[in-house]
Structure 1
Amino acid sequence: MDLVTGLFATDGFLLGTVLPFLFVLLIVVFVHELGHYLVGRWCGIGATVFSVGFGPELAGFNDRRGTRWRLSWIPLGGYVKFVGDMNAASVPNAEDDSSLSPQEREQAFQFKSVGRRAATVFAGPAANFLLAIVIFTVIFSAFGRGVADPVVSEIRPDSVAERVGFQPGDRFISLDGIPVEEFSDVQRYVSVRAGTTITMVMERDGERLTFEVTPERLEIEDRFGNKMEQGIIGVVNNNQTGGRRVERYGIGESLVMAVGETWYVVERTGGYIAGIFSGREKPDQIGGPIRVAQMSGQVATLGFVPLLNLAAILSISIGLLNLLPIPILDGGHLVFYLFEALRGKPVSERAQEYGYRIGFALILGLMVFATWNDITMLFGRS
């Protein structure tokens, strides 16, 4: 009975972790593949299979265009198999070109112009970004957004802020010449600039003061016990003096803010990836399905809106991941199409084959590495 209770309680494994994980992941995957499918249809490309998940089919149906819509057992991705594809990765099936009927050749992916193929491939990641914008717009317009004045309420002992001479009541005016409107502007700017000197203009008793501040990299822990490193200067904004409030926005203003929020996540994620290659960031924050499932369960305890917010962030991450120039991923296909457009002819089948093999090995290695990070996180090993 204790086992059953643990599985089905709202904070148990099935309802507390698996269900939020499936909700977040399946929405993001479905929208990604729907982007491919809809633009492919618009470009005159036929689809034989639209699958959410991999492996054996759990449920499905055929539509009047002959596409099999499937829900498969392994919910860790999805694919659209277009007419003429050899597999779910949209690798052209050159050997079977001769067996295609005239109608199938007219709808086959590989016989479309390079522009139509590129548009169809790019539509998946683009749909992910669009989904994030829609989610953020709904959240901002329906529920508002918590904001706080850019005021220093407290200063942590022995912190960078204390050493440079910040005082409670100081107000942030600009960071490296960029105006500061709210306290989150400071947090976001500082968090990704550990070790980088920032020129901060502050207002104190009507006087403007300039400080050269270098955030230090420290490990922080969120409310769920997850640890991460980021830039910190040691200032705190509280309810008493920080002017914290919830602001409401109209649809138009929410849309503009949603685009900005999406771009911020893109910049933050892209900066982290670049930081790994430059040695500024540790790759231990790269997570796989286990971490996503854990985060989904944790965030779900805060409510439906935070879970939607997580879905938006995950959607952006998946969009960016798919744009990496790795064969098999959408970005790899786009690289092939770029070469084709420049050369006036497709990349040779042999080059594509080797590219797909290398891409598969890279993605498999990334999955193994991400899973290892997840396991070490769960068992607390460093």
Structure 2
Amino acid sequence: MTSFFGSVFWLLVTLGVLVTFHEFGHYWVARRCGVKVLRFSVGFGNAVWKRIGRDGCEYRIAAIPLGGYVKMLDAREGVVPPQFESQEFTTQPVWKRILIVLAGPGFNLIFTVAALWLMFMLGRPDAAPIVTAKPQSMAAVAGIQPGDRILSVDGREVTTWSDSLDAVANALLGRTPLPLDIRDPDGAQRQLVFPLDKLPPGQTIDQYFTTLGLRLASPPAVAATVLDGQPAALAGMQGGDRILSVDGKPVADFETLGKLVQQDAAVSPKLAIVVERNGRTIPLEVVAERESLQGRPADWMIGIGAPPMETATLRYGPLRALHEALTGTWRQVTQTFGMIAKMLGGEASTKNLSSVIGIAQMANASAHMGLAWFLQFLAMVSLSLAVLNLLPIPVLDGGHLLYYLIELLKGSPLSEQAMAIGQYIGLVLLFSLMGLVFYNDIHRLLLS
């Protein structure tokens, strides 16, 4: 339940910030273009708070926080007093109306760059891109070995696990062969290619990642800490010992060690563990004990702690951070439009789209990871909001932009009947899209 309320809270924070910024773009440019603004609303429906500004504009927060709007003086909605005719929206030159429409998505892009710039300067803590692969998976067949470090993905240098994951995810959605530069634990570098074009079309990103089998490597099987009075200490294990085998089975990493302890202790708690210490091989007899920690189900324990994973913090100075923010925003814009084209062409699955349910879950998760992670999340949602609004669907900013571009070409506005038909079509498309993304998220929740 705590997760539920946390998700709702951080969703409201996310939508409140991004919708306000988007609508402020329309408002600010409209005012600069000499158009009278009657209402600035964050949310839809009845007002829960409002006030009238000195400029006569009503500022309000409404009950349904799934969007917002700026209401301008418009002759199509009623009689315009003579003294305000020059400030009416529809009589403005078409280039001014285009600027006003573009301002919302434009401000979202500005927010994206600003959020990423601040995130890069604060520094985003992350894991180093040291990986392994599930046996017989695509990544294993391509040549990934335990402890390999990813240096670049598709020619782009990466220094953190998340950046590697994002680059791989974009390639998975496009199902194109993906080259990687790798360095093994001994320092030797090599290049390999994931043949993502062999993946079947129409699957979700989670299914593609399962097939690929690439994952963050577990720490080495070293007893970083040995707890006094626990089975390992009683058997003579010391801090720094490297575990080589359990009951004759080789141990590749700390994750493998944990699985072997659970598996073998369930048969017999007495475990034959071989460790390496100062170049010597030492056999130990460890009697595992079954314990329950912090209310979780009981597990077999031997009382050792794993070494910390190698970390990497993504942090730049102001100028480098601005450059990375601009290039990152441009890269995401092109990838997003490319993915939309692939979805329309049937090359990528629409099952990867998420509604506010998925956004709420991601908002909660990123907020708990720290400010830098939440800023990155806000940047990505802001960019998505900009791209969504630029789609040529009537009722969205992109639909209005389409009307004005047609007006530029034909020399006169579209008829009210044509615009009304477009609005109905836009509503049908929008509600269909909303139904699809809600279905995707509900289906994912039921399967999880």
Interval containing the TM-score (normalised by the shorter chain) = 0.7 to 0.9
- Structure 1 residues 236, 13: closer, same or farther in 2, change over 3 A? closer
Is 1:180 the equivalent of 2:161? no
Q: What is the aligned counterpart of 1:344 among 411, 432, 435?
A: 411
Is 1:106 the equivalent of 2:113? no
Match of 2:167 in 1: 189
SS of match in other structure, 1:55: strand
Q: CA deviation at 1:314?
A: 1.4
Higher mean Cα deviation, 351-360 or 306-315? 306-315
For the pair shown, the structure with the greater C-alpha radius of gyration is: 2
- 8 Å CA contact 1:148, 1:182 repeated in 2: no
Is 1:64 the equivalent of 2:54? yes
| Partner Cα distance (1:19, 1:212) in 2 | 42
- Structure 1 residues 235, 294: closer, same or farther in 2, change over 3 A? closer
SS of match in other structure, 1:100: coil
- 8 Å CA contact 2:124, 2:372 repeated in 1: no
Q: CA deviation at 1:319?
A: 1.0
Q: CA deviation at 1:372?
A: 2.5
| Partner Cα distance (2:358, 2:309) in 1 | 33
- Structure 1 residues 321, 153: closer, same or farther in 2, change over 3 A? closer
Q: CA deviation at 1:227?
A: 7.7
Q: How does 1:295-314 map to 2 (within 5 A)?
A: 295-314=362-381
Q: What is the aligned counterpart of 1:54 among 21, 44, 69?
A: 44
Q: What is the aligned counterpart of 1:330 among 367, 391, 397?
A: 397
Higher mean Cα deviation, 182-191 or 37-46? 182-191
Using structure 1 for the length normalisation, give the TM-score: 0.81
Q: CA deviation at 1:228?
A: 2.7
Match of 2:139 in 1: 161
Q: CA deviation at 1:242?
A: 8.8
SS of match in other structure, 1:111: coil
- 8 Å CA contact 1:35, 1:124 repeated in 2: yes
Task: For 2:132, give the aligned amino acid.
Answer: E
- 8 Å CA contact 2:160, 2:313 repeated in 1: no
SS of match in other structure, 1:193: helix
| Partner Cα distance (1:323, 1:209) in 2 | 42
SS of match in other structure, 2:54: coil
How many residue pairs get matched?
A: 351
Is 1:35 the equivalent of 2:25? yes
Is 1:246 the equivalent of 2:313? yes
- Structure 1 residues 315, 247: closer, same or farther in 2, change over 3 A? closer
| Partner Cα distance (2:89, 2:429) in 1 | 25
Match of 1:3 in 2: none
- 8 Å CA contact 2:178, 2:194 repeated in 1: yes
SS of match in other structure, 1:65: coil
| Partner Cα distance (1:69, 1:233) in 2 | 51
Q: What is the aligned counterpart of 2:195 among 214, 223, 226?
A: 214
- Structure 1 residues 208, 375: closer, same or farther in 2, change over 3 A? closer
Task: For 2:26, give the aligned amino acid.
Answer: H
| Partner Cα distance (1:307, 1:44) in 2 | 36
Task: For 2:349, give the aligned amino acid.
Answer: K
| Partner Cα distance (1:329, 1:168) in 2 | 48
Task: For 1:180, give the aligned amino acid.
Answer: E
Task: For 1:18, give the aligned amino acid.
Answer: V
Is 1:78 the equivalent of 2:68? yes
| Partner Cα distance (2:10, 2:119) in 1 | 18
- 8 Å CA contact 1:192, 1:230 repeated in 2: no
Match of 1:269 in 2: 336
Higher mean Cα deviation, 186-195 or 226-235? 226-235
- 8 Å CA contact 2:182, 2:189 repeated in 1: yes
| Partner Cα distance (1:206, 1:305) in 2 | 31
Q: Percent identity?
A: 34
